[in-house]
Structures are given as structure tokens and as C-alpha cells.
Amino acid sequence: MKKTLLLLCLLSLFTQCDTNHSKGLRTNFTISNNGTENTEKTGPKLMVGIVVDQMRYDYLVTFYNKYGKGGFKRLMREGYHLKNVHFNYIPTYTAVGHASIYTGTVPANHGIIGNDWYDKSLQKEIYCVDDARYQTVGAKTGGEKSPHRMVTTTVTDQLKLAQNMRGKIIGISLKDRAAILPVGHTADAAYWFPGKDHGGFVTSTFYREQLPQWVLDFNASDKANTYLSQRWETLYDIDSYTETLPDNNPYETAFKGKDSPTFPYDLAQLRKDNDNFDLLKNTPFGNSIVTDFSLAAIHGENLGKTEATDFLSISYSSTDYIGHEFGVSSKELEDTYIRLDKELARLLESLDREVGQDNYTVFLTADHAVSHVPSYLQSLKIPAGYVNKEAFAAALNRIMKTHFNSTELIENVSNYQIFLNKKKIRALGLDQHKVAQTIVDEIIQYKDVYKAVTAHTLQNTHFDRGILQILQNGYNQKRSGDVLLVPYPGTTPFYALTGTTHGSGYNYDTHVPLIFYGAGVGKGHSNHYYSITDIAPTLSRILDITYPNGCTGRPIAEVLN
């Protein structure tokens, strides 16, 4: 009986090893001449990270019947689909999302606390990837960038280190921050589309001194002008777009030069009033040119063709621009996702041909989700609203005047945070912690503020659940403000009455898709909760490399074969 069980176990082990090998897993077992066990490292030749900017999880469900078989449905059907993945920090912005996905940790550690934030030492607003030490490559301006403000490594950095700097790491997006931050500090290149009067992709001297020939050829092909020479009409009959609101509704923002936010859009006519090539970003064709450029990169850089593993990071940004402009329930957004589905199919088909279906691994997620337009929610009697910036500033001034007889104690208000004027506080002989706590005690009475907490409290108290826990995860002692605020659910701080935005820690901003597909990945789905910081360690396990140096996430074991 024992011999039979042992034989069955051995048979199961070797069957599993053979199956794993056929699917491109990293370890094959062999027996040497002296009878000892050796391991041979295998794995994906190319890792492809896809981040869809501002994609809510429910877009997979809402538009499911409009998708073809080769895009989202292929990934869901043949990959591992995680249905309950959330961002575990505040604020949920683009730069923060991309940094957290690839570092496997939260802003408290990686240091990217916003797209822009107030620098306490410089006493001015700064942008997350600006770096005056470098120049633009490929245009006159738009490339003075680097990832230097992200203080931890990414999974892409660790892949470079693990391979003794072999393998190519390339980032692509319309947005500079979405191209730069995912590929970390050791990337071969990051390329983005500055827009305005430039219709091609650029990079920074942080990466290289000149564009490679394949990029020059791509820019010379004038694809951006081609896309902007057409009309944007719905791909299918607009009457079939029953998942969204009527085309002409009061919750959308119209393009400049057009009376209403309605189809069709004559792009050649609209571009002169909408910053020329910037208009491309606000159409689905911005995603198309990113796919075009990504395919050119795969071919031009021979990605997935050497013994080393390459990594291509792709971020689709037009979904974010269109979401901000038209909102969650717009015909424009629905058409954008239907078209994005076809872009994903085109990308996967090209990977099959160029790299081989068993030789690459893909993951798809989002950098944040988004709220419904608050005025639309109000029309349905769902609690929602807007914070009036001037009224809020006036309330803060009244608090300062009443308690400290000064209106000069606040230096900056941004990103749900209040920065105190420490120099003025010291000059008046005040205690900065008392000033901050007074603001918290008083501003909590303000109609739009749901929670408020001082930096001192976040440094000395551990919150293990709820909204204050994810607020604490986003608090960076060196860079964040002295008072942090949380608005009511459905409340948009300092925003227009049409279109929508994101940034909160509520489910509508935190719940995003996550699908792994390809070599090293099983098939299935899960409703278990995972945080966005679990992606990087999962990729590290697929690649069999060390986690990023600040990583706090855990690998998702059920994804792995």
C-alpha cells in the first residue's frame, strides 16, 4: 500500500513538472550523471504590464457583451481573473498608482504622494517626475524628466539587477509619469507623447541622448495627424449603447468649439481649439497610437528574442482623459472601452506572432478607478456634492483668526492636506501640534469634511482598518502635510460641475481589475481580497527574482501555476 502511494505521488510530481514546462514556468528538474538534482531556469521571455488609466472594475462587467473574443474576454477566459482588488492608500492618483503597482508598496514608503504636491523644503508645488538636470530628446520641450522622486526600486529594477543589467526595460504611455515610474531607475527607455504642437513620442536624456531609429521612423510616419484627420463616431450603432446615459446629458463637458458633448466629433475641425495634438489624448485614438508605438517597440527592440527576460510597460491614458471629460456613464466612455478591447486583441495577436504564445506573461490592471459625476448622483438622491475652494479657504482663515489671531499660519492646501507655516508659528511662540489639532477639532464641523487627522496622530497611532488605515498608508512623514482630510463619500473636492475625478479611498476609486495571463500563470478567477501592492511580489515570483526593496505586498499564490 505504501509503495503504491509513493508511486502515485512520484507520478503526480513528474506529470505536474511536465505540465509546468509546457506552460513556460521558470523551473525544470533534471538529473545529473551523479544522480543529483539540478534546476534549469526558464520563464517568460517578455513580461508585459498593461495599466488602464482610470478603469473601474465594473467596466469589465458593464460593457462585457460589447467586447470581442480576443481582448478583455481572452484575458479573463484564459488567464487568472482577480475580482476583488483594491488600492490600499489615499490618494488614488495616476503617478501614485503606477508607482505602487510596480514597487509593491504604498506612498508612505515609495514617496510618490501625488501627481503634484507641495514641497515643504522648497516651499512650492512640484511635479512628480520633473527633473531640470535632464533635457528633452525628440522635441524642444516636454522631456526634462526622471524617476528620481521615487525612492524605492520597482520590480523592473529588480529584474535588471537579477540579470546583471541584461534584458531591456521600456515604458510607453501618453503621459510622462505613466511611462517613467513603472520602469524604475534602471530602464533602457521611457517614451511619452507630449502633445500640443508635437505629434510624436519623446524621451529624456536620463535614458539616452538620441532617439533610436525605430522611434524616428515611427514619428516620421505621422500617425497622430492621420488619427486627427478623421471623425470620431461610435464604432457600433449608438442606439445599441444601452449601458450608458443619453448622448446629450447635463453631466458631460463639451470640447471647445463644439456646442454639445455629442457624437460625431470632427477632429480635424476641433483640434485648433483644443491644443492641437492634445486633442488626440481625449479620443480613443490616443490608445490606438500607444498600441501602434508599443508594437513598433516590440519589433524595433527585438523584445522577447534573447535569453534574458525583457519587460514592456504600457499605460493606456485616453480612458482617463475621456473619463474626466465625460464621466462614467457617457456614450463616449463606452465607445472608448469597446475600442480599447480591440487594441488589446491587436496587442495580444502581435505578441503571439512576435514572441510566441508560451513565451510571454501579461498582467492588466488600473492605476485608480473613478467616481460617478456627483451632480448625476445628486439627481438620483444619492449623497454627493462638491467642495467650494473659496468657501473652504475662508473657513480655515476664520479658525486661524479665532484661535490664534492670525491668517498666516497656513502655507498650502492641496491633495486633501494642509501644510502649516512653521516659521510663522514659531515667531508667534505657538506649538505647531496644538495648531494642527485645533484645525482638526474645528474643521471637522465643516459640512464637506468627513474625517480629519493630524500628521502627529498618524505618526503615533496605528490604524489597522477602515478609511484611516488607508489614509495612513498614503502618509509620507517627509513629504505629506500637517493635517490630512477625508471628504464625505461622493464628494469631489474643488472640481467642476461636469465630468468627474478621483483621489479618494472609497470603493468607487479603489476597486480595479487585475488579470494575469500567460507563462507562469494558472487559469481561474477569485473573489478574495487583494491589494494593489500584491502585484509586484507576484511578478517577482513568476520571474523568480528578489522583491522591490520597499515591497510590503505579498505574492498572490493562487495565480501561480
Q: Are strands 46-52 and 310-316 parallel, antiparallel or unpaired?
A: parallel
> Chain centroid to CA 265: how far?
28
What is the predicted pLDDT for the residue at 166? 97
Mean pLDDT of 528-555: 98
Q: How confident is the model at residue 496 (pLDDT cuts 50, 70, 90)?
A: confident
CA 49 to CA 187: how far, in whole Å?
Answer: 14
Determine the pLDDT at residue 42.
Answer: 65
Domains annotated for the chain, with CATH where assigned, are 2-41 (no CATH), 46-311+318-373+532-559 (3.40.720.10), 385-493 (3.30.1360.150)
Q: Render pLDDT for 63-75 as a digit per residue (tens, 0 to 9).
A: 999 999 999 999 9
Q: What is the mean pLDDT of residues 273-298?
A: 98
One-letter amino acid at 277 equals: F
Q: Among 27, 36, 62, 94, which one carries the catalytic annotation?
A: 94
Query: How far apart, in whole angstroms, are the C-alpha atoms of residue 384 and residue 222?
Result: 44
pLDDT at 1: 42
Kindly tell me if the per-residue pLDDT of 295 is higher than 90: yes
Query: Using alpha carbons only, how large is the chain's radius of gyration in Å?
Result: 25
- Residue 531 pLDDT grade (very low, low, confident, very high; cuts 50, 70, 90): very high
30 has a pLDDT exceeding 70: no
Residue 533 annotated as catalytic: no
Give residue 40's pLDDT.
52
pLDDT for the residue numbered 10? 38
What's the mean pLDDT in 375-392?
A: 95
Grid cell, residue 220, equals 516620421
Closest CA to 180 of 102, 121, 87: 102
Residue 30's DSSP bridge partners are 38
Mean pLDDT value across residues 269-296 = 98
Give residue 34's pLDDT: 47
Quote the pLDDT of residue 82: 98
Q: Which residue has the higher pLDDT, 93 or 40?
A: 93
Q: How far is the CA of 343 from the CAs of 469, 479, 561, in angstroms?
A: 37, 38, 28
What pLDDT does residue 24 have?
34
Query: Mean pLDDT, to the nearest integer, of 6-21?
Result: 37
- What sign has the CA pseudo-torsion 354, 357, 358, 363? positive
* Beta partners for residue 163, in sequence order: none
